[in-house]
Structure 1
Amino acid sequence: MMRSSCVVLTALVALAAYYIYIPLPSSVSDPWKLMLLDATFRSAQQLETGSQWKLLSSQSNLIHYLGLSHHLLTLNFIIISVGKKSAWSSAQVKVTDTDFDGVEVRVFEGPPKPEEPLKRSVVYIHGGGWALGSAKIKYYDELCMEMAEELNAVIVSVEYRLVPKVCFPEQIHDVVRATKYFLQPEVLQKYSVDPGRIGISGDSAGGNLAAVLCQQFSQDVNLKKKLKVQALIYPVLQALDFNTPSYQQNVNIPILPRHTMVKYWIEYFKGSYDFVQAMVVNNHTSLDEEEATALRAHLNWTSLLPASITKNYKPVVQTTGNARILQEIPQLLDARSAPLIADQEVLKHLPKTYILTCEHDVLRDDGIMYAKRLESADVEVTLDYFEDGFHGCMIFTRWPTNFAVGIRTKNSYIEWLDRNL
């Protein structure tokens, strides 16, 4: 009996190890933790696709009852159920849930200081592929709490609406509406915020929305000087080329493989999954698509990236592609979705910028190219690169998902804000 139990246990351990293990570059931070984190995400994604729910009728009925028929709704339900935090204030930071012009926000107010009656402020936009996450889950709650305390600042974390309930450009409208409301003199006065020391920031898809908002504000004469800095954390900046060196190098690296990023884009635009494979090989921006070809000049990575990044990678440019893609999803070529392709005239009016990039991230080169384009437009840029970083690492700083690079990226980010805001 004992021998049988040992055999079964050994087999289970072997199966678990087989499921968890994936080959990772030796330079990535805490590789076994990343494997476990990736296995957790894969399990949640497999759970929400339906096979497990079908086995358990009560849970399946619950999902149907809650109206979570879309797989992203189901996945986000799991994420928020596991990680949601109430608006809990500490001795140092006051936390309040409210709304700014109909958009939900969570406001973190740092401790008052008699010698500094007015505080600086950051409007923060969370990541999650425009579809997942929340300002109210622990990862973002803890980040904003720490920012408010360390910077003695007011942090406004925006709870914008998500895919599939709304799609592009509604997420942009939400963050713009909330930020404009916050920038009103009477609202800044209510929160004791210095109107000359306000920044916009976000990670991943939130970095995309922050960059888009900053570009829009820079073109509005009433808002041009309202934002002192923008801080973009591994931002999503373009959907024209899914074969930059970082997309090729990190095609299957957690927690954002290339296929997953392409699917997020398609969901954001309410497009068809039938286009995924064609977009992966850049069939949507082939040479016979004149508008796409002209815009790709703004992200010509052979000239925008250094040789240490381009290495031996070759551009993937199709002669002929699938014309249906741009016909059905013209938003792919809209600078409001892809701020990297904005005109130089727009870029030159942007504020001082911080861009954090990670080596093991499909989006690494988006950030590097944007930094290069901003520098060419005479914008002061800090490009903060982490050789052992991976996509999403900055929010993973607490046990059991505490990564060494997560702590270093967070500290570096907050230190830059402290010096420049």
Structure 2
Amino acid sequence: MEYRFSSMASRLKPPSVRDRLKLSQGKDVISFADEWPAEELFPAHAVREAAGRVIAGGAGALHGGAAEGYAPLRVQLCGRMAARQMAATPEQMIVTAGSQQAIDLLVSVLAEPGDAVLVEKPTSSARLQLFALRGLKAIEAESDEQGIVPEDAERLILEHRPKLMYASPTFGSPTGRVWSLERRTKLLALCKHYQIPIIEDDPYGDLVFEPNERLPTLFALEGGAERGTVFYASAFSGTVAPPLRAGWAIGDSGVIRMAAKMKQAAGQHSSAFDQQILSRLLENFDLDAHIRQIAGACGERMLEMHEQLLRQGLRDVSWQKPKGGLFLWLELPDGLDGEALLRLSIRKGVSFVPGGQFYAQHPRRNCIRLNFACHAGERTKLGVERLAEAIGEFTARS
């Protein structure tokens, strides 16, 4: 039978890069393409103990949960948010199967197919795919080392009248940049003035290398969920364990209630078992101490990759040392295409994510994203050497 795909399915971009990365799995390929830190950095023993406590609690552990999420976990998460000056009640929170689902629900409530969404250039490829799937047009605002450029954002707002803004101001993929306090304040004021809701995505914000330098979130700057402009989304995937699919969103209670209704209607219940494990983990495990430990390890691995790249003496290759998160954003010589470089690099035994897929409209193809936290020591050294060899072969041809 021949199938005709729906218009929604047809909006998805061909997964050519991901297909190539899959082909490299199981071979002697050092992957800098991962989305999370190395497995050994996660608290596997503590998660195992928490799961055991949940199972020992009886049959209730296997029951389904409310669309809003496991009530004790929501209370605990609100407490953690309050410690970061982000005031929210359990009624203003929904627990989801990761931050992608949280953002999907918010987008589904706040926007219609055909609406525009304002994004930073470049931005998360996964979120761009989500916006395309929902029929939204991503409008790219220019950015620099301080974050999104307010003047360009306002120009695009006046031209396209976006229905919402998507922002990841703290260590966001792919650049790992941190928006300055001035840019955060200006963008928040801009969106409040034009009444544009902001979805603030913060999957890597806990992985800060110098905690004293941590800036307030947009949600905290606005003063909490009652103000109604900012919706904050995050997850435990980068600090506890990616397989425990639990994220959350906080914001206006009316929007959160509608998101819960949509989640229930679509049968998109996140795992109540995973949520109970996380709740027990928060009860019996010093998560903050673990986060400081994993952030410190990521910082050491970033410096290690940075030093290895410097040792290669790569001409016309530049990058900025991030202050947290997982990613280094490399700008390659003009004319060097990241996807073509990936094909050669996989043959040499190293992989990464080409930069073109992080753009909605006008991609810069001479950029690549490296995850510095998924390897250490000899593996990082060898992977960087293989990458440098591939870059050298390309530049020698030009």
Output the TM-score relative to the length of structure 1.
0.27
TM-score, normalised with respect to structure 2:
0.28
